[in-house]
């Protein structure tokens, strides 16, 4: 049973990469970000752009709640124990204990801003403001809740990939090659 955890900086393509990797390997896929956005959609009953959901979630009582984040942690671990899954999670490298492969994706800030702008159909100035706001909220809240900076997970990863000049397909190819070399 294979468990792959994908994490990284906001805007590096972890959700896209995780879904594509799961599809290519015939594994299940779970994204904490998608799960969280679904909760916000159901709570608010209005449509927003992806980044707006993430930012708004951190402003809610649930978003700031340690109990919510621990429940998501438990859910991820339960899914990992069932196996044959790719889990995309900002905290997955630290909290998915039985992960066979821990992948960290990164890219320079400018590349991530361009992705946010393109994905959400915003001007780059707005995308920059949203990226900075989201990163700040995530880092501050998770440091308050868990006592560590989630960016430090890069040091715990089995593989670190700079995604700034790579397509999702190329990133998946790099991961699959890495996995093959580790078996």
Q: What global pTM score does this model have?
A: 0.90
Q: Which of 90, 105, 93 is nearest to 37 (CA)?
A: 90
Higher pLDDT, 63 or 47: 63
In CATH, what number does 3-177 get? 3.40.50.300
Q: Rounded to whole angstroms, how far apart are CA atoms 25 and 180?
A: 12
Q: Rounded to whole angstroms, how far apart are CA atoms 148 and 141?
A: 10
| Residue 48 scores a pLDDT above 70 | no
b/e 95-118 (16+ beta carbons within 10 angstroms → b): bbeebbbbbbbbbeeebbbbbbbe
Q: Rounded to whole angstroms, how far apart are CA atoms 137 and 114?
A: 20
Higher pLDDT, 104 or 122: 104
| Residue 83 scores a pLDDT above 70 | yes
- Read off the pLDDT band of 41 (50, 70, 90): low
| Residue 120 scores a pLDDT above 90 | no
- Note the pLDDT tens digit of each residue in 136-152: 999 999 999 999 999 99
Q: What is residue 61's predicted lDDT score, i.e. its pLDDT?
A: 84
Beta-ladder partners of 30:
87
Work out the percent of the chain whose per-residue pLDDT is above 90: 72
Domain locations in the chain? 3-177
Kind and range of the H or E element at 16?
Answer: helix 14-25
């Amino acid at each position: 049973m294979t468990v792959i955890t994908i994490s990284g900086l906001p805007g590096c393509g972890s959700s896209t990469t995780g879904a594509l990797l799961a599809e290519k390997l015939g594994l299940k896929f779970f994204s904490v970000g998608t799960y969280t956005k679904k909760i916000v959609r159901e709570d608010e009953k209005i449509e927003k752009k992806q980044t707006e959901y993430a930012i708004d979630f951190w402003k809610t009582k649930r978003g700031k709640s340690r109990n919510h984040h621990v429940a998501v942690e438990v859910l991820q671990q339960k899914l990992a124990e069932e196996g044959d899954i790719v889990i995309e999670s900002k905290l997955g490298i630290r909290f998915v204990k039985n992960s066979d492969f821990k992948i960290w994706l990164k890219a320079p800030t400018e590349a991530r801003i361009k992705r946010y702008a393109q994905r959400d159909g915003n001007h780059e100035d707005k995308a920059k403001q949203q990226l900075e706001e989201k990163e700040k909220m995530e880092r501050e809240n998770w440091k308050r809740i868990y006592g560590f900076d989630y960016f430090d997970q890069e040091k715990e990863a089995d593989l670190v990939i700079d995604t700034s000049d790579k397509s999702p397909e190329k990133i998946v190819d790099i991961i699959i090659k890495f996995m093959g070399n580790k078996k």
